[in-house]
Structure 1
Amino acid sequence: MEFTTLGALVGLIIAIILIIKKVHPAYSLILGALIGGIVGGGGLTGTVGTMVSGAQSMMSSVLRILTSGILAGALIKTGAAEKIADVIVKKLGQRFALVSVAVATMIICAVGVFVDISVITVAPIAMAIAEKAGYNKPSVLLAMIGGGKAGNIISPNPNTIATAEAFQIDLTALMIRNIVPALAALVVTILLSTLLSRKSGVMVTEADLEQVTDKNLPSFLAAIAGPVVVILLLALRPIVGISIDPLIALPIGGIVCMLCCGQIRNIIFYTEFGLSKVVGVSILLVGTGTLAGIIKASNIQYDMIALLEAGNLPSFLLAPIAGILMAAATASTTAGATIASQTFSGTLVASGVSAIDAGAMIHAGATVVDSLPHGSFFHATGGSVNMQIKERMKLIPYEALVGLTSTVVSSIIYLL
């Protein structure tokens, strides 16, 4: 089937409107795909067939994401993620509080915890330090969000898995490819959060602090054991040519984490908790696949190439632009990166851009404006520091600068 660009755009716009109206994103994407396909000239039968094919193309990503929940559940429930954050913050001290908060969130996200959960995990520690050091909420939240964005593009998280699957490239290679852009984003995060700390803003008070009883956290060595095992397993392919699929590496890391933290007896509970954290993303990806199928089968990719050529712009810019636009439309890094990768992978590779470079640029681009108010990340991160929506809105331009930094650096690396 082939659909018109108008149909693809209509489907995308309808999905955006429904998401803004608080309809579940998966249903919004499915309904948008259905209407867009019919408007685009596919007919009911052809549209449904293309939607099903698009959803089917997501199954390998969904399977890997479901198994990644074992690692995420282990890191969160054993206290390993919190211990890693706590040690980093304490080692760097109050003098470098914003640096430590950004680095801690980056590392927690990079080892396999979702970006919103990473922020929520670090938030109590960050808030306690901010109250003592006299930092305002915007500066602390930006440090966490920016660190999370930096860690997200080098993590085995759903967005990375979906991008690697769409381009049929090695997950580890994609993670490594964006290390320099991630570090650049981290530096900009620290600079911007420091700038915000010198401006007036809502201060952190004792009332904002989480009243916690003494927690029995694991040792630092036990906490990092699981992530280290995952990194080593995924690194076997580029180092010695032995390929360990993330579907195997991520669950093994989670089990090692539980063993080293002395919590293997809770494996059923922790894996169920991890599953509860990834099932929403998995369902979202199925819905994303239906709309991606319609958009991929439309003329939109050729029309975008034509626009770039009309403006005398190089075709490789399609990668970061697609990532930025699709993530903004869905207010989700995962959905944005998935739709952009599924739709434009073939066109980008055919135009001479290597799959690894195109995937890296799309992935980085999907972190620019992925935290708009019609997505859950906006509200989850604001709630982690008890911030009002009006104040939270003011952070969006700063977050966009962080994501734009990694995107620009990723594009410069391609040109080099």
Structure 2
Amino acid sequence: MQVSALGTLIGLALSITLIVKKNNPVYSLILGAFVGGVTGGASLPETVSLMVEGAKGITPAILRILTAGVLAGVLIESGAAVKIAETIIEKLGSKRSILALALATMLLTAVGVFISVAVITVSPIAITIAKRLKVSKMSILLAMIGGGKSGNIISPNSNTIVSSQNFGVDLSSLMAANIIPAIFGVVVTCFLAQTLIKKGEQILESGEEDLEKELPSFFSSMTGPVIAIILLALGPITGIYVDPLIALPLGGAIGCLAMGKQSYFKEYIQYGLSKMTEIAILLLSTGTVAGIIKHSTLKDVTIELLDKSGFPEFLLAPISGALMSAATASTTAAATVASATFSTAIVAAGVKSLYGAAMLHAGATVFDHLPHGSFFHTTASCTSTNLEERFKLIPYESAIGFTLTLFSTLIYGLIL
């Protein structure tokens, strides 16, 4: 059964419209998938079957994402994330404040903190720096967002897990694949954020934010993520593969012990589970969309357009990631839909699975900050940035996402 490209696009357009109008994104995506199937020529039973099949396909990744909540919950609720951010900013000093904010957010995201939570975690410190050095809200916010985007493509977060799952590649290999693009992403972030230092609203209040006083040591804060990354890296290095389903929660548990906070472990994992449950439900709804797109002619039309334009077929990877990020305004949702839909076609075009996954994953960051997604509003509220200035940041954020995608594509599409 094939669904027409036109019907699929109608369904996607409906989902986007409903999300932009602030309807629940989960139900908006499910409804869009249903309408896409029906208007694309599938019968009601066939449409439901394709939606269910798509949701089933994402279940293994969801299971791994749920267990990743252990590490994320420990990092966030124990104060470890704040300690990591504080230490980086303190070591680099106020003269390198923009770089410090970008690196702090990058590292937090890279070790398993959700990008929006990483920005929220660093924002009180950023506001303190902005007050002292008279740096604009736009500048500090862009520094944190760009750092988070760069860290997100080398993290054990949900977007990376689902991309590795759908391409059938090792998670740690995919995390390592985009390290160089991430470095360039931070460089471009710092350059762009520097140009905004005196532009827009300044934070003029006196005094500093009252940050949490009793925090774990930097060494104990890093223990959990380091253990998790070592376990994930065993596969490519030694051939002993430890699944993220084991490595991530084990890292969280060991990290909790290292910080001496084992009595709070239940609270930490409950918090992590609550955050991951939100992502899991969203992924199920994106799975229904992926089920429709996967059985539609949309990918064939896209490949045909690439052929006619003279562009090489490996560009399907970054382009599909970018298009889905524009449709969903979410890195995770974009990586889910794009990898579930286009991974087979990308590999069939002669692109190695790891290379295709890396390029697609980077592409999913190009438009993940658009206003019909939660990230746009969450990042505005944590720094009290008005919507007019938040909108002005969109081209800068897109430039950072494009940088990540460009260097990933240069490496894995042209050089290797």
- The TM tier, using the shorter chain, reads over 0.9
Number of the residue aligned with 1:289:
287
Distance 2:203 2:362 in 1: 31
Post-superposition shift, 1:89?
A: 0.2
Alpha-carbon separation, structure 2, partners of 1:209 and 1:146: 24
Match of 2:164 in 1: 164
Matched residue type, 2:220: A
- Counterparts of 1:106-185 in structure 2, within 5 Å, are 106-185=106-185
Please state how far the C-alpha of 1:18 moved relative to its aligned partner: 1.1
Gap runs ≥5 in structure 1: none
Distance in 2 between the 1:238 and 1:347 partners?
Answer: 25
Per-residue deviation, residues 70-104 of structure 1 (Å, max 9, x unmatched) = 10100011100000000000000000000100000
Shift of 1:308: 0.7
Contact 1:3 1:41 in 2 (8 A): yes
Aligned to 2:300: 302
Q: Letter of the 1:164 partner, please give it.
A: S
**Equivalent residue, structure 2, for 1:263:** 261
CA distance in 1, matches of 2:204, 2:121: 19
Give yes or no for the alignment of 1:54 onto 2:54. yes
The structural deviation recorded for 1:210 is 3.8
Q: 1:113 Cα shift? A: 0.2
Aligned pair count reads 414
Q: Structure 1 residues 208, 344: closer, same or farther in 2, change over 3 A?
A: farther
Q: Using the TM superposition, give the Cα deviation of residue 241 of structure 1 relative to its aligned residue in structure 2, in angstroms.
A: 0.7
Q: Secondary structure at the match of 2:284?
A: helix
In 1, are the aligned partners of 2:329 and 2:372 still within 8 Å (CA)?
yes
Instruction: Tell me the residue number matched to 2:386.
Output: 388
For residues 159-238 of structure 1, the aligned pairs below 5 Å read: 159-197=159-197, 199-206=198-205, 210-212=209-211, 215-238=213-236
Question: 2:2 corresponds to which residue?
Answer: 2
Structure 2: gaps spanning 5 or more residues: none
User: 2:10 touches 2:36 (CA, 8 Å); kept in 1?
Assistant: yes
Structure 1 pair 389–217 and aligned structure 2 pair: CA distance change class (3 A): same
Shift of 1:207: 6.9
Letter in 1 for 2:200: G
Looking at structure 1, the residues matched to 77 and 65 of structure 2 have their Cα atoms a distance apart, in angstroms, of 18
Cα-to-partner distance string for 1:270-305 (whole Å, 9 max, x where unaligned): 110111111111000000000100000001111101
Output the CA distance in 1 between the equivalents of 2:54 and 2:47: 10
What is the distance in 1 between the residues matched to 2:172 and 2:162? 13
1:331-384 per-position Cα deviation (integer Å, ceiling 9, x unaligned): 101001111111100111111111111111111011011101111000000111
Please say if 1:73 is aligned against 2:67.
no
Shift of 1:205: 2.8
Please say if residues 127 and 208 of structure 1, whose CA atoms lie closer than 8 Å, have aligned partners that are also in contact.
no
Q: Provide the C-alpha distance between the structure 2 equivalents of 1:235 and 1:311, rounded to a whole number of angstroms.
A: 40
Amino acid at match of 1:195: T
- 1:121, distance to aligned residue in structure 2 (A): 0.4
Counterpart of 2:93 in structure 1 is: 93
Q: What is the distance in 1 between the residues matched to 2:241 and 2:379?
A: 36
Q: Can you list the C-alpha shifts for 1:246-273, whole angstroms capped at 9, x where unaligned?
A: 0000001111111111111111111101
Letter in 1 for 2:201: V
d(CA) in 2 for partners of 1:366 and 1:360?
A: 10
* Contact 1:332/1:375, CA 8 A, preserved across alignment: yes
> Given residue 168 of structure 2, which amino acid in structure 1 is its aligned partner?
Q
Equivalent in the alignment of 1:252: 250
Using a 3 Å threshold, how does the CA distance of structure 1 residues 297 and 207 change in structure 2: closer, same or farther? farther
The whole-number CA distance in structure 2 between the counterparts of 1:153 and 1:87 is 23
Change over 3 Å in CA distance of 1:143–1:208 after alignment to 2: farther
DSSP 3-state at the match of 1:206: coil
The C-alpha deviation readout for 1:103-151, integer Å capped at 9, x for no partner, is 0000000000000000000001111112111211111000000000000
Given that 2:163 and 2:361 are in contact with CA atoms closer than 8 Å, whether structure 1 keeps it comes out as yes
The CA distance in 2 between the partners of 1:33 and 1:144, in whole Å, is 34
Q: CA deviation at 1:209?
A: 5.6
Contact 1:234 1:243 in 2 (8 A): yes
User: Could you state the TM-score of these two structures normalised by the residue count of structure 1?
Assistant: 0.98
Of residues 108-117 and 319-328 in structure 1, the stretch that sits farther from structure 2 once superposed is: 319-328
Q: Is the 2:134–2:204 Cα contact (8 Å) retained in structure 1? A: no
SS at match of 1:17: helix
Residues in 2 aligned to 1:388 and 1:207: alpha-carbon distance in whole angstroms: 20
* Offset, 1:208: 9.4
Letter in 2 for 1:93: G
Aligned partners of 2:77, 2:345: CA distance in 1, in Å? 42
Aligned-partner Cα distance in 2 for 1:50–1:207: 57
Q: What is the match of residue 402 of structure 2?
A: 404
Instruction: Tell me the residue number matched to 2:329.
Output: 331
Matched letter for residue 275 of structure 2? K
Q: What is the CA–CA distance in structure 1 between the aligned matches of 2:203 and 2:97, rounded to whole Å?
A: 14
Aligned pairs (5 A) from 1:314-353: 314-353=312-351
Q: Residue 196 of structure 2 aligns to a residue in which SS?
A: helix
**Contact conserved, 2:55 with 2:288, CA < 8 A, in 1?**
yes
Provide the TM-score with structure 2 as the length reference.
0.98
For the 8 Å contact 1:208–1:386, the answer to whether it is kept is no
Q: Which amino acid aligns with 1:43?
A: S
SS at 2:354 equivalent: helix
Whether 2:281 is the aligned partner of 1:280: answer no
The CA RMSD measured in Å over matched residues stands at: 1.1
Shift of 1:385: 0.6
